[in-house]
Amino acid sequence: MGNICVIGGTRFFGKVLVRELMAHGHRVTVLTRGRTGDPFGDKVDRLTADANDVDQLSAAVAGHEFDAVIHQMCYSPVAALAAVKAFDGRIGRLVMTSTIEVYRDQPGVSGFAAEHELDPSMLGYDMSLPWHDSEFLGNSYAEGKRQAEGALAQAATFPVAFVRLGHVLAEGEFTGRLAFHVDRVLDGGRIAAHRSPGRSSFGHAREIAAFLAWMGGVSLTGPVNASSPDGMSAREFVSVIEEVTGRSAVFDEVDDADDPDLSPFSYAADFGMSVGYEFSPVSGWLPEVVRREVAQRAKWSRTR
């Protein structure tokens, strides 16, 4: 089994990934800033560093070697180049957790994009941008991920894979996108969407974590799409919640993309990914995820 370092393993999806790696017998080292605890006890090793700070990162990994690093916190070329320098000669490969968002607004990219439509080696990066400004970074998520891919593709001295994830969901999903829809259906709140909203791509957290864990142990490099094969529109997404809850949503199709009630999964046209690996259809797993999310609301109500 492998010796694998996970950068960022204490939040929602990172914890799922660490558990998946441990379940398959890997020795796991979790590298974080040390600000958040984790439930793993003495089952993992721990290193502390800011992954954006090349000096901190280099000092933290000095004296360590890993078969693979799974980088969950690579949001900009700053983090990418820090990893290039810190892990030079220390790792067998790096797997960057990327995103469907890299395809957004890119010329020549189809509605369900294939990996070859966006080549990381052709993506530039600009270190003069204010990547250390949290507001700028938050507002530049897609561009930050694209430039991180570009920096790794051009500068890394080790093999790199870029796993571009669809919208990852499970109960308690920390971005609040699932909760947005569930809460509004349960409370009778309004949900807006583009007229005839396009479909997007989704993935179940456990399946995606298992795929990332597998990617840490194989020789595959370059971009890889990871999501369920069937796309789903905002209207279809809300329909699943309606069916699970027995409630009817207040659902409006609108022309205003700035509507404050716009679904975070609403797109004016298809915005998804084609997938070459076998994942479960979203139509098969989403109802259970919604049921678990609804059950969390009921549990919370009973303890008030």
Give the pLDDT score at 299. Answer: 52
Please state the φ and ψ torsions of residue 196, each to the nearest 5 degrees: 50, 60
The DSSP call for residue 32 is E
pTM for the predicted model, two decimal places: 0.94
Do the Cβ atoms of 17 and 209 come closer than 8 Å? yes
CB neighbours (10 Å) of residue 113? Answer: 24
Contacts of 63 (CB under 8 A, 6+ apart): none
Task: Measure the CA–CA gap between 233 and 243, rounded to whole angstroms.
Answer: 15
166: left (phi over 0), alpha (psi -120 to 50) or beta: beta
pLDDT reported for residue 304: 43
Residue 298 has a pLDDT of: 65
State the Cα–Cα distance between residues 164 and 74, nearest whole angstrom.
12
**Domains in the chain, start-ordered, CATH in brackets?**
3-168+201-226 (3.40.50.720), 174-199+231-270+282-302 (3.90.25)
Distance in angstroms (rounded) separating the CA atoms of residues 152 and 154: 5
User: Rounded to an integer, what distance in angstroms lies between the CA atom of residue 221 and that of residue 163?
Assistant: 9
Query: Token pair for residue 2?
Result: 């492998």
Asked if 89 contacts 157 with a C-beta cutoff of 8 angstroms, the reply is yes
pLDDT of residue 303: 47
| Three-state DSSP state, 172 | coil
As a whole number of angstroms, the distance between CA 24 and CA 67 comes to 15
Crossing angle for the helix pair 234-245 and 282-302, to the nearest 10 degrees? 50
Cα–Cα distance between 157 and 155 in angstroms, integer?
7
Running along the chain, 304 residues long, what does each successive block of 10 average in pLDDT?
89 86 94 87 94 97 97 97 98 98 95 97 96 96 98 98 96 87 95 94 95 93 97 96 96 91 96 96 96 79 47
Instruction: Go through 189-224 and write b for each residue having 16 or more CB atoms within 10 A of its CB, e for each that does not.
Output: eebbbbeebbbbbbbbbbbbbbbbbebbbeeebebb
Tokens of 231: 């796309």
